[in-house]
Each structure stands twice: as C-alpha cells, then as structure tokens.
Amino acid sequence: MKKIFLVVVLLGGMGIVATYHYADAQLLPRIITQTFRPQYEQLLIQDWLKYQNLIQQLEIPRLNTEKIDLSSSAGREKFKQNYVKYAKLIIDANNQNIARIRQATFATESYRNIQSLDMQTLTIMNQLFQDNVIDYYARHGDTQTFLREPALKIETVSKYQAQQVEIKVLEQLRILAIKKDRRLRHIDADLFSDWLDYSILEHQLYPRDAQWDTLGNLQKLSQRTEYDDVRELQAYQALQPRTATFKKIQQLNVQSIQSNLQIFADFKQPTNAQQALENIKALNKTMQQQDFKTGIELSNQLTAEQQRINKQMVLQLSQALL
C-alpha cells in the first residue's frame, strides 16, 4: 500500500514539474493555490449564509406613526415624548441586535471584521440617541437634532466590505451552478441562475462607497441625471430571465424606472439657489399626484418581491451548503 502511495506521489510530482516546464511560469502557483482555495471559498459561502440568516433575525422596532398636530404646545410636547419613546425602542432593539451579532461565529476574517463593524455602528447609534434625545430631554424638557455621521462612517465601511465579499460569493456560487454541484440538486436551476444574474447586476449598478463622504453623497444626488435612469433601464431590459418570478421582477424594475422618468421629466438640474427652491416646491406638488403614488407602490411591490425571493434562496442554499 505504501509503495502504491509513493508511486502516486512521485507521478504527481513529475506532473507538476512537467507542467511548470512546458506551461506559463505563473501556472504552478495557481495550481498550488487552487488546492487550498476550495476550503476557503466554502467557508466564505457558509459565512455569507450565516450573515444573511443573521440579518433576517435582527430586531426592527415597531414605531408609533400617529399624526400629531404641532400647531399647539400640547401637540409639540406629545411629539417630544413620542420621540423619547422612539429613542428608547431603538436602543432596546439595537442592544438585542448587538447580542445576536456577538453570538454569531464566523470562520473567515472578512466576516469577523464585518461583525465587529456592525456592533460598533449600533453601539455608537445608541449613544447618540441616549445623549441627544433621552438625556437631553430629562435635563431640558426638549430634544435636539444630531448628526448620525459617526455611526454612518462605520456602517459605510461595513456595507462596502459586505458587498465586496458577497460579489465573490455570488461568483463562486455561479461556478458551483455551472459545475452542477450535487449539493444544489434540490434548488431550481433556472430560478437560481436568474437570481445570480439579477444579484450580480444589482451590485454592478449600485456599488457601495468605501467610506462615508457627506459632501460627496450630496453631490452624487444633485448630479444624478436622466441618463442614470436610462442606463439602469437598459441594464434591466437586457436581462433574459427564464422564470416567471424574475420576469415579474424585471417588469417591476422597468415600470418603476419608466415611472420615475415620466414623473421627473420636467425637473431640470438647478444652477442656482432659486432654481433649487423651485424644484423643491415642484417636488412637494408632485408627491401629491397619483403618478407619484403609483411609482411608490411599484417600488414597494419590487422591494417585497426581492425580499421574498432572497429569503427563499438563502433558505435553500443554507439547507444545501451549511
């Protein structure tokens, strides 16, 4: 038995030497790397699934949405008290989420970093609400506005890193699908392929920023033009979904963008403060129109359908790969 093993090892070594001799000099490092990468890629996929399941379990506080008349002192006081209650609900939910995130175990450094950043974001957000709403109201009988930038800076890094890792995971899942990996045999192949195509396209269209930039973000919003909507419209139209589910999602995307183009057709890029003010007034008027409400309804339908299919895919992939 040992002799057979020795022969196999020698032949394997000769094969690598021959490959290195006749092929590109960079090929040998690639062959050696591929021997160890499957385990890392498997761990990355598993961590991604754990993270997706974790996100779905995070607590979202139920908030009171009652309308309050702010024209009276009693109404304004009730609004402040509700805001304090809202802050306490946020802090309580964040504490529960921090505990859930801390309990999660990830095998890869990428997701351990994201895990740490997410906890930092929630901790800072809690401190902001505690200092500026709860404690401030206790001392002054009032609340004060505050910038969430300290938390947003860390959250931006987390979301950027999460997107970069997810792109790698989706690419690896596509390879598994092409290879017809037997672990995926219970997942609808066409639905899985459509979901991968759509998810990768979304990342291409909406890349995350690597760091928070307040002025840069405002400039992006102000510089967005009709061309951006048209580019996204063409990208969604170019998709060739095989399943009814993603044909519906494609249709909702196209209708939503076409609705935006129609609603904001008369809006021009402001070149001065007066034009910007006129745009704001026009926007307030537009928001009351039925076309705008229809556009919001389309967007809500799209979000609900995306969440449903993402949850389904994560569940099926978890059953197959975890």
- DSSP reduced 3-state for 209: coil
More confident residue, 285 or 179: 179
The answer to whether residue 300 scores a pLDDT higher than 70 is yes
C-alpha to C-alpha distance for 291 and 266, rounded to whole angstroms? 14
Sign of CA dihedral 261, 227, 194, 172: negative
Question: For residue 52, what pLDDT is reported?
Answer: 97
Q: What is the pLDDT of residues 125-150, one digit of tens each?
A: 999 999 999 999 999 999 898 999 99
Q: Return the amino acid letter for 71.
A: S
Report the mean per-residue pLDDT for the chain: 84
Q: If we measure between CA atoms, which residue out of 212, 107, 99 comes closest to residue 150?
A: 212
> Cα–Cα distances in Å, from 259 out to 5, 230, 263?
67, 12, 6
pTM of the model: 0.81
Q: What is the pLDDT of residues 9-41, one digit of tens each?
A: 333 443 434 344 434 444 445 444 444 466 899
- Please, which pLDDT band fits residue 224 given cuts at 50, 70 and 90? confident
More confident residue, 191 or 217: 191
Q: CA torsion angle for 185, 191, 196, 201 (degrees, to 10)?
A: 170
Q: Is residue 34 part of a domain?
A: yes
**What is the tally of structural domains in the chain?**
1
- Please, which pLDDT band fits residue 284 given cuts at 50, 70 and 90? low
Q: What is the pLDDT of residues 41-67, one digit of tens each?
A: 999 999 999 999 999 999 988 777 677
Question: For residue 220, what pLDDT is reported?
Answer: 75
| Range from 80-84, 140-144, 197-201, 284-288 carrying the lowest mean pLDDT | 284-288
Kind and range of the H or E run holding 299: helix 290-321
The answer to whether residue 292 scores a pLDDT higher than 70 is no
Q: Is residue 20 part of a domain?
A: yes
Q: Is residue 15 part of a domain?
A: yes
Q: What is the pLDDT of residues 62-99, one digit of tens each?
A: 777 677 877 788 888 988 999 999 999 999 999 999 99
Q: Is residue 78 part of a domain?
A: no
Q: Is residue 287 part of a domain?
A: no
What tokens were used for 201? Answer: 């396209």
Q: Return the amino acid letter for 194.
A: D
Q: What percent of the chain has pLDDT over 90?
A: 61
Q: Is residue 28 part of a domain?
A: yes
The answer to whether residue 295 scores a pLDDT higher than 90 is no
Which structural domain, as residue segments, surrounds residue 17?
Answer: 1-40
- DSSP reduced 3-state for 148: coil
Q: What is the pLDDT of residues 237-272, one digit of tens each?
A: 999 999 999 999 999 999 999 988 887 666 566 666
Q: What percent of the chain has pLDDT over 70?
A: 78
Question: For residue 5, what pLDDT is reported?
Answer: 36
Question: For residue 72, what pLDDT is reported?
Answer: 83
Task: Output phi, psi for 62, to 5 deg.
Answer: -85, 120
Question: For residue 34, what pLDDT is reported?
Answer: 45
Q: Is residue 25 part of a domain?
A: yes
